[in-house]
Amino acid sequence: GDSVTQMEGPVTLSEEAFLTINCTYTATGYPSLFWYVQYPGEGLQLLLKATKADDKGSNKGFEATYRKETTSFHLEKGSVQVSDSAVYFCALSDRQGAQKLVFGQGTRLTINP
Amino acid sequence: GAVVSQHPSWVICKSGTSVKIECRSLDFQATTMFWYRQFPKQSLMLMATSNEGSKATYEQGVEKDKFLINHASLTLSTLTVTSAHPEDSSFYICSADERASSYNEQFFGPGTRLTVL
C-alpha cells in the first residue's frame, strides 16, 4: 500500500538556520503531496501542497518540490523562526476515491532563539 | 478559512463506559468526514471515512462495532467509543472535506484526548 517516510526527529535548530525535513513516499499512480503542521495544542493545518510532478508548493517561507524521479517531497525553509516550532507531517493522497490521506510519522521541530 | 470543531477537547471515563465525540464543520458543508487516531509521538492513522447519510467505511483492523460513526448531516459527524478500555486511550482527530472545494481539501479539528481509567 501507499506509505510516507519522514526523517526522524526531533530536530533542534537555532533561529535563522536553514531547515530541511526529508520526506519520501511510495504510491501507485500519481498521488498529491502535502505538508501539514501541528502547533502545540492545535489541530493540523495544511502548510503547502503539490498535485503533480515538478510542482512546487510554498507558504510562509516554506517550500517543497514534488520530485517524481526520487519520489520525494522535502520541506525547506531558508531562515527559521522560533514560531516555526511545531510538528510537521508529510502526507499523500490518492486522488481517486475519497481522498484519503496517508501520513508520515511526523517530525518535531524546535527552534531556539 | 474553514473551521472544524471537536467536542469535547478531552474526556476521562471509566472502563466499560461509552464516550461520544462530536466533529462539526462550522462554516462549510462537508461531503466527507474522516476519523483518525494518533498515539503519542506517532502519526495519524485513519480509522474510518464517513459520508453524510451513508454507512462509514472502516480501515482494516478497526472494529466497527466498537467505534460507531454517525454522519447525520453535512456539518456533523460523531464517533462513539463503546465499552471503552484503557487501550482505547488516545488522541482522536476528525477532518472534514469541503464540498465546495475543487480539490476537496481536508480541514482538521483540534482533536479529543480520551483517557480510559
Identify each DSSP E strand in chain B by its residue range: 4-7, 10-13, 19-25, 30-38, 44-51, 57-58, 67-73, 76-81, 90-98, 106-108, 112-116
Cβ <8 Å between B105 and A51: no
Q: How far is B14 from chain A, CA to nearest CA, in Å?
A: 25
Three-state secondary-structure class, residue A84: helix
- 3-state SS class at B88: helix
Query: Is A105–B46 a contact, with Cβ atoms under 8 angstroms apart?
Result: no
Q: Quick check: B49 contacting A, CB < 8 Å? A: yes
Do the chains contact at B46 and A51, CB–CB below 8 Å? no
β-pairing verdict for A32-38 and A101-103: unpaired
Nearest in space to B52 (alpha carbons), one of B82, B88, B28, B16? B28
Residues of chain A in contact with residue B110, where contact means CB-CB under 8 angstroms, are: 41-43
Residue B36 CA to residue B16 CA, distance in Å, equals: 22
Instruction: Give the pLDDT confidence of B12-59 residue by residue, as tens digits.
Output: 999 999 999 999 999 888 888 999 999 877 788 999 999 888 889 999
User: For A55-112, how does the pLDDT look when each residue is reduced to its tens digit (9 = 90+)?
Assistant: 999 999 999 999 999 999 999 999 999 999 999 999 998 765 557 889 999 999 999 9
pLDDT at residue B102, as a whole number: 54
